[in-house]
Amino acid sequence: MEKRNLPLKSPGSGAKDFRLDGKVAIVTGGGSGIGQAIALRFAANGATVRIADINLQQAEATAKQITDGDGLATAHACDVTDQRQVREVFNGLFAKERVGILVNNAGISHVGTVETTTEKDFDRLFRVNVKGVYNGIHACIEHMRANGGGVILNMASIAGSAALADRFAYSMSKGAVIAMTYSVAKDYVQYNIRCNCISPARVHTPFVDDYVRKNYPGREGEMYEKLAQSQPIGRMGKPEEVASLALFLCSDEAAFVTGADYPLDGGFFNLRG
């Protein structure tokens, strides 16, 4: 009898994969860029999304986009550098529902060497990118532990583990995020809390367009291409591609994944010549 190689089909395959039905997710910095893409993707896959952003107007616009598409979302003004405010916003949500997912996405960038980075610049990067992640985890971890577990996803950067020119303070802050991820994963794995991070290379967001326009007037196209070509794959990433990885890491399909830093870099880290 002739043997045929038929495609394998597991009982878990199909449209239900990577669903977040019945889960509540907080996404900081969810009003724009990568955070917005994550909020939209999570909502499209069944999650109830709570968008926490310092810019309430942008957060409300993202929430409206979700609810207009029959998804579930609310917007909340939140400065991640202010621990009291973070706790107030989060505790307000915890009083009504179990939050099973926290995405620490809020962050800022900075261009400069150690010589050109002022103390004010350094402190600002630390407050937003490091303390902001700490504040989110600090506010959420007890709630998750008391409710049987959860998922924490931090947004790091390839700058946290690879040398990038003129990114001294930014690289410092993202390296700290990676270290925090490992530490939280180690300390709370016994409580069914998974903690991972994503390290993108350059992703095409409004920040990139603003940076090129501000620093290279009249040469925007040339500089954009130069930045894009720094990834061996030949282009920048898309916010939606980061959102796809975030969806997997926060879904039950990733239940065996914790304490990991995922590069999403178009080959930047390993394929540079």
Distance in angstroms (rounded) separating the CA atoms of residues 93 and 20:
18
The answer to whether 191 is a known catalytic residue is no
Inter-CA distances, 218 with 69, 209, 214, 215, 226, Å: 39, 13, 10, 10, 14
Distance in angstroms (rounded) separating the CA atoms of residues 123 and 185:
26
Torsion of CA 210, 242, 65, 59, to 10 degrees: -60
Task: Please state, as a whole number, how many other Cβ atoms lie within 10 Å of the Cβ of residue 128.
Answer: 21
H/E stretch holding 124 reads: helix 119-125
Closest CA to 215 of 112, 107, 122: 112
Place of tokens 């050109």: 116
User: Choosing from 170, 188, 224, 262, which is the catalytic residue?
Assistant: 170
Residue pair 19/44 in contact (Cβ under 8 Å)? The answer is: no
Q: Mind telling me the catalytic residues?
A: 170
